[in-house]
Amino acid sequence: MINAQKGNEKLSLIGSVSLGTGVMIGAGIFVLMGQIAELVGDLFPIAFIAGAVVVGFSSYSYVKFSNAYPSSGGVAKFLTKSYGPGTATGLFSLLMYVSMVVSESLVAGTFGAYTLRLFPEQYAGYAPALAVGLITVAYIVNILGNKVIGSTATITAVIKVLGISLLAIAGLAASGFADITGNYIPQTGESLPKGFGFIGALALAILAYKGFTTITNQGDDIQNPHKNVGRSIIISIVICTLIYVALALSVAGGLSIPEIIKAKDYALAAAAKPIFGDWGTWITIGIAIVATVSGVIASVFSASRLLAMLSSMKQVPSLSIIEKLKNPALLLTVSLAILLTVFFNLTRIASIGAIFYLIMDIAIHWGLFRYLREEVKFNPVIPLIAIIMDIAILSAFLYIRYLNDPFVLIVAFAAIVLIMIAERLFMISHTDKDGVMHMGMKDDKNTMR
């Protein structure tokens, strides 16, 4: 992760789009392709188009927030503007934080799954160990402030984006367009209403685009931030949609749906082999390794910075109580990521991340619609449409998880309840008798809602 600003220089719109696209086209796409195909069968390329439509409506609120309040605070700043300091802001901000840690764990797990394709099958059980090792390396790099990694961040982003793009284009050229006539492959013996699985699968498709929220953090470092942050979000989503759809069609042309599902944790590498041979598999694995290593390092940095920011805003307990440790936010972030990696497989990790992200996304839209009509100029219909879409997708996804893996719902529900209770108790601890909560930020509303 590198600073966007050098001296007095600020990011241009092109620079912002380059960085934003590099974050969005993350390593998650290497594993999400197979998981989405498992839910919708031959329609998985269309799921990425539908996901882009949903994200297009969703991005409207973030664009309006960014135009009105450009800041490095990003989502945390938007939530504070909407709900003021208090339990709601703390809860939704922490859900965003946990979804970032989940993404970090997902990317690390993807590194393990793809790297092991270079070794005999008897080593398959070592994927979590490789993932933990990568998270540990990311911690060391971040704690040392490795300048080499910072200076090569742009290079790795270019390799990642161009590599995936060329893989998609070459795959299409070699295999032709796949038949996507809508053959559903049910994940269990349970019968779902036609199209229900498709709606639920959009929760995972959205994860492939959720990196656009990091663009909101560029507010302090971009030229003409009141316009260019929003423009960067829109352009980045369009670019990612084109690449994802081309990649999905390429995979569909190289493998049958049962084959994709069987290799869902390393679907892109499996799809490359019948089209390009062994060398295609090796190139795909190489791109995946570059993407995952750089992605985990950047994700660890971003998530720990968000936690530190929430602590300075007094939305979570002060991390200064752990004075003997260097960068406690970083240590807590990697510790949580390691726990997720050890105890959950990639499907469960992605599911938890999707649930938390969608809840936080609904909160962003509702905050804009309900509390900021007088401060921000926007069309109220669009956030409402985004809320309806999010609720429909979340409901369908929860039902699918209930049928197939209810343990995911138990973990997600328990985590939300614990965060809510802890946040409420913490907020009460520093709220005075007049209902004013004293924060670390002077320019925000201090009355609890």
pLDDT confidence of residue 27: 60
List, for residues 94-110, the tens digit of each pLDDT value: 988 898 898 889 888 88
CATH number, span 18-429? 1.20.1740.10
Task: Kindly tell me if the per-residue pLDDT of 392 is higher than 50.
Answer: yes
pLDDT confidence of residue 152: 59
Task: Kindly tell me if the per-residue pLDDT of 429 is higher than 80.
Answer: no
Average of per-residue pLDDT values in the chain: 81
List, for residues 150-195, the tens digit of each pLDDT value: 555 667 777 777 888 887 887 777 766 555 554 444 444 344 555 6
Task: Kindly tell me if the per-residue pLDDT of 64 is higher than 50.
Answer: yes
Tell me how far apart the alpha carbons of residues 266 and 284 are, in angstroms, rounded to a whole number: 10
Task: Kindly tell me if the per-residue pLDDT of 84 is higher than 60.
Answer: yes
* CA 72-77-81 angle, 5° bins: 145
C-alpha distances out from residue 242 to 55, 161, 164, 245, 337, Å: 14, 12, 11, 5, 31
Task: Kindly tell me if the per-residue pLDDT of 391 is higher than 50.
Answer: yes
pLDDT confidence of residue 133: 94
Task: Kindly tell me if the per-residue pLDDT of 2 is higher than 70.
Answer: no
Q: Mapping DSSP to helix (H, G, I), strand (E, B) and coil, where does residue 372 land?
A: coil
Cα–Cα nearest to 48, from 27, 29, 61, 23 = 29
Q: pLDDT band at residue 346, thresholds of 50, 70 and 90?
A: confident
Q: Are 143 and 326 in contact (CB under 8 A)?
A: yes
Q: What percent of the chain has pLDDT over 70?
A: 83
pLDDT confidence of residue 389: 95
pLDDT confidence of residue 9: 65
Pair of tokens at residue 145 = 């402030």
The whole-model pTM stands at: 0.84
Pair of tokens at residue 283 = 């190139």
List, for residues 315-324, the tens digit of each pLDDT value: 777 766 555 6
Least confident piece of the model among 140-149, 285-294, 306-315: 140-149
Quick one: DSSP state of residue 192? P
Tell me how far apart the alpha carbons of residues 266 and 33 are, in angstroms, rounded to a whole number: 9
List, for residues 331-343, the tens digit of each pLDDT value: 889 999 999 998 8
List, for residues 195-225, the tens digit of each pLDDT value: 677 888 899 899 888 888 878 876 667 788 8
Task: Kindly tell me if the per-residue pLDDT of 6 is higher than 80.
Answer: no
pLDDT confidence of residue 50: 93
Q: What is the DSSP string of 313-362?
A: TTSS--GGG-TTSSSHHHHHHHHHHHHHHHH--HHHHHHHHHHHHHHHHH
Q: Mapping DSSP to helix (H, G, I), strand (E, B) and coil, where does residue 6 land?
A: strand
With residues binned 3-state (H G I as helix, E B as strand, rest as coil), the percentages for the chain, rounded to 5, are 75, 0, 20
